[in-house]
A and B are shown apart, each in its own frame.
Chain A
Amino acid sequence: MQNIEIDIRGQVCPSTLLFALKEINAHNGELRDKSVILSFLTDNRDAVVTIPESASNMGYAVSVTKREGYYVIEVRKD
């Protein structure tokens, strides 16, 4: 399974969300056939709420891991 890391650090909402959604939409098929995991790196604290909520509404499993100075939001299909 491929883990695609997308660094959106420095962006703030709502553009972080839009970027994330754009990436999710772009990898829709791969995510659904479980060949890809998307990991968003963000330093925007709001995105830690907005991205997981939107991704889970879209039917994805989301986990958030805090790193040094940023967060990793991992999106995958269960």
Chain B
Amino acid sequence: MADMLQNGGESGLTGRKDSHSPEVERLQRENEDLRQRYAESVQYIRSKINQLLTVMGTAPLRPEELDDRTLIELDPIGIISGSFSQVLEHLHETNEQLKAANNEIQAIFDAAGMGILVIDRSMKVVAYNAKLKDQFFPERDVSEGFACHDMICNLSSPLHECPFLQVFETGKSVRQMRWKLKGRYFDVVGAPIANLGEISGIVIVYMDITERVLAEEALRKSEERYRDLFENANDLVQSIGPDGSFQYVNRAWMETMGYGPEELSSLTIFDVLYPGCSECSSEFKDIVFGDKEGRIETRFFTKDRREIIVEGNINAVFEGGKRLGARGIFRDITERKKAEEILASERERLAVTLRSIGDGVITTDTAGRITLMNKMGEDLTGWSQEEAVGSAITDVFRIISERTRTCCENPVEKVLKDGNVTELMSNTVLITKDGTERLISDSVAPIRDRQSRIIGTVLVFRDITERRKMEEQLMNAEKIDSLGVLAGGIAHDFNNLLNAIMGNIDLALLSSGRGGEIQENLERAEKAALRARDLTTQLLTFSRGGAPIRKTASITELIRDSADFALRGSNSRAQFIFPDDLWKAVIDEGQISQVVNNLVLNAAQAMPQGGTVRISAHNIEVPSARAGELKPGRYVRITVSDEGTGIPHEHLKRIFEPYFTTKIKGSGLGLATSYSIVRSHEGSIEVESDVGRGTTIRVYLPASLSQKGKGDLDVLPVCPPGSGRVLLMDDEDIIRQTTGLMLQRLGYEVELAADGRETLDKYKEALSNGRRFDAVIMDLTIPGGIGGREAMELLRGIDPSVRGIVSSGYSSDAVMANYRQYGFAAVLAKPYRKDELAAVLQEVLSGGAA
């Protein structure tokens, strides 16, 4: 249309240029107007196109670029409109996408497991999600415009140090860990929202970590508790690496081992093991590197090289199938071990003690079952410990009453019943396994534990069969002893009386003259008195245990008399063999008589059917080369042989033991006394016996070196009349009178004294008068006064050359046996005959005995 307006207008209007008709003019004007309006329209279009091009971001059209026709044909508006519609379409799509994205974000915002808060620059709430509401204000809704410090922190204004203020300042995110808000813990992150180069707000995310914190707290507490447990444990806790180095040890470990924490890094398990204990080390290597685990007892060496014994458990530590080391918990049991060792040695000691104890010991449990029996228990019951343990006490320890032969109540059962210590009656008989009976005594005591509960019994018993026998023998011996004392006392008094009787008979015989009936009567009385003297001698010998009063004597008559006396009334007879030149022996006649008596009596008793007892005596010289029991020198050997039953070999050694006897009524003292007498004579006694053929006993007695005064002691020579002054001391008036008369008849001048004091006075007086006594005869015992022994001492003080003769009915007294030691010149045993008195005085006055 623009072309048409331009071209058509020019050609049309120029053709009719000369005729300016009004119509033409109108048309010209109209054309001009249209042309004007077209140009305006094109201008408008161009300006709109330029406007659109500018919107599209490009340069406006240049006027020369497109002519109006091309412009219209190109249709830029149409093109740009088409492009706009695509731009719009694209925007629309983008919008849709944004909406979806927004929805997505909103969903995430709402579904997020953590609280999200968006605030603006003035810290006002822009948005928040449901979780945040749950976390901080579940009870109410908060409208936008509220301040976050009001909602979250419960503060009227933000804190000066509020971390989110920094976000606005720095533009960087902040992270706040373990922030405690409203009683719960949060990890909080604030991130800036940048908008057109400036920070318009902050997104704050609150992650509730309360559960985690509490769990951590609980874990920490639990760990603390365990650490506390380990650290305060008294046991030694250690953790070892695969190379044996220590990874952890507790306080008790360090205290016990003496190492400080700083020393542990250079220490290995092998350093604390005893270096000499190779198996300890390998044992630990087994544990650390091998498969061995479990309970272990070993030794550790402390820093100061002290050895301790430990017991504990070891466990290997694995991670991912790989061995990382070993854990161990140990306990120091050194003290316990020591105690165990002491206990074991104590137990051993007790066991040895129990085994070697001389009594039978049995222990039982509370059911009366045997738990232990010692060696002596085995011997006495006949049960072995193996058989007895577990058996009932009543089976093993079977007892009956000795008197009634009935069962007694078992003492163990009694103790278990009443809990008291029980002593058994002494007349209890134990029947052993093989039926042998043993007389026993025993006691049973309860065994109690620390709470005093009875946990068993202990039975102690012993065989008293032998003891009973000993007791009986002892009783017998005591009886004999008391009889002896009695006999000794009687014999003393008797001797004094006999002395008077015999002295007076002697005196009467002197007065009566030879021949005639009176002399016969007196001689018979004298014989009877002599028999009585023998009897008292026997009594005294029986009662004495003292030293012999030895004299040189011929023993043939002594042997004959004693043997005949012993065989009197038996159906055996004696046969004597004595050589003519038999030496005299130095003996106590009474004692040796008793020895012969015993030997002959035994010989006769060994031949119940009767037989011959052969008795002989010989001279024996013992050379120094043969000195054994006997000293070298000369001896008289008396041999007594029988044809009797003989002595069994096992008895031979015991026949001299006191109270050993095989005879039903024997005292067991005969041979013992004989042995003692022979030994006290410095002799010896030998036995030789064949069972069934007889016994021979040989007694060696020392022979007298001087064989002076051969002939029998009993046959005294007729004494020449004596002369001299004799002082006689005796408390018995009758002795003083009789002996005084005897002395006068023997030709002596006599003075009498009743005690030591009077003796001393008279001796002093005589000495001062020049009428010294030639001999003083003193009784040994003066009741209530100075006796012979003391008087002799005093007399020697006055006159050292005094000649004293001691006299006593107690011939067993030590002074009588060893009179010389006490200063006496001779001894005179009561009762004595005139002749004996004369002989002793003669010997003393002649100086022979001095």
Contacts and interface: CB of A to CB of B under 8 A. Distances in A.
B60 A18 contact: no
B80 interface: yes
Interface string A50-69: 10011001110000000000
Interface of A is mostly: helix
B90 A57 contact: yes
B829 interface: no
A49 B56 CA distance: 11
Nearest to A28: B86
B79 A54 contact: no
A29 to B, nearest CB: 11
Contacts of B66: 15
Interface in B67-104: 74, 76, 79-80, 82-83, 86-87, 89-90, 93-94
A54 B57 contact: yes
A39 B66 CA distance: 24
A12 to B, nearest CB: 7
Q: In this complex, which of B58, B74, B89 has the most chain A Cβ atoms within 10 angstroms of its Cβ?
A: B58
B53 interface: yes
A50 B54 CA distance: 10
Contacts of B434: none
A9 interface: no
Contact of B80 (A13, A21, A59): A21
A35 interface: no
Nearest to A22: B79
B56 A50 contact: yes
A25 interface: yes
B59 interface: yes
Nearest to B90: A59
Contacts of B60: 14
Interface in A12-38: 12-15, 17-18, 21-22, 24-25, 28
A46 interface: yes
Contacts of B87: 57-59
Nearest to B80: A21
A50 B90 contact: no
Interface residues of A, number: 19
Contact of A50 (B58, B61, B76): B58
Interface of B is mostly: helix
Contact of B65 (A12, A24, A50, A59): A12
B59 A14 contact: yes
Nearest to B50: A14
A42 B205 CA distance: 52
A13 B58 contact: yes
A59 B82 contact: no
Contacts of B59: 13-14, 46, 50
Given A15-B65, A18-B76, A58-B90, A50 B57 contact: yes
A14 B61 contact: yes
Contacts of A58: 83, 86-87, 89-90
B96 to A, nearest CB: 12
A17 B53 contact: yes
B58 A59 contact: no
Given A18-B74, A50-B56, A25 B86 contact: yes
Contacts of B56: 17, 21, 50, 53-54, 57
B58 A17 contact: yes
B49 to A, nearest CB: 8
Interface residues of B, number: 21
B88 to A, nearest CB: 9
A14 B80 CA distance: 12
A63 B60 CA distance: 24
Contacts of A46: 58-59
A25 B79 contact: yes
Given A14-B53, A15-B66, A59-B90, A25 B82 contact: yes
A48 to B, nearest CB: 12
B55 to A, nearest CB: 10
Given A15-B66, A22-B79, A25-B86, A59 B57 contact: no
A75 B56 CA distance: 16
Contacts of B58: 13-14, 17, 46, 50, 54
Contacts of A12: 65
B299 to A, nearest CB: 83
Contact of B83 (A13, A14, A24): A24
Contacts of A49: 57
Contacts of B89: 58-59
Contacts of A25: 79, 82-83, 86
Nearest to B76: A18
Contacts of A59: 86-87, 89-90, 93-94
B60 to A, nearest CB: 7
Contacts of B76: 14, 18
A14 B58 CA distance: 6
Nearest to A54: B56
B110 to A, nearest CB: 31
A18 B65 CA distance: 12
Q: In this complex, which of A13, A14, A28, A54 has the most chain B Cβ atoms within 10 angstroms of its Cβ?
A: A14
A15 B93 CA distance: 28
Contact of A28 (B53, B82, B94): B82
A56 to B, nearest CB: 9
A18 to B, nearest CB: 5
B90 A18 contact: no
Contacts of A13: 58-59
Nearest to B56: A54
A18 B90 CA distance: 19
B170 to A, nearest CB: 35
Contacts of A28: 82, 86
A5 B53 CA distance: 24
Contacts of B90: 57-59
A46 B59 CA distance: 9
Contact of A18 (B79, B86, B94): B79
Interface string B446-488: 0000000000000000000000000000000000000000000
Contacts of A21: 56, 79-80, 82-83
A25 B86 CA distance: 8
A15 B70 CA distance: 11
Nearest to B94: A59
A46 to B, nearest CB: 7
Contacts of A53: 56-57
A70 B322 CA distance: 70
Contacts of A24: 83, 86
23 contacts: A13-B58, A14-B61, A14-B65, A14-B76, A15-B66, A17-B56, A18-B76, A18-B80, A21-B82, A22-B74, A22-B79, A22-B82, A24-B83, A25-B83, A50-B56, A54-B56, A57-B56, A57-B90, A58-B83, A58-B86, A58-B89, A59-B90, A59-B93
Given A15-B61, A25-B86, 7 more contacts: A14-B58, A14-B60, A17-B53, A21-B83, A22-B79, A50-B58, A59-B93
The 8 closest A-B pairs by CB, nearest first: A59-B90, A25-B82, A50-B58, A58-B86, A21-B83, A22-B79, A14-B58, A17-B58
Interface of A: 12-15, 17-18, 21-22, 24-25, 28, 46, 49-50, 53-54, 57-59
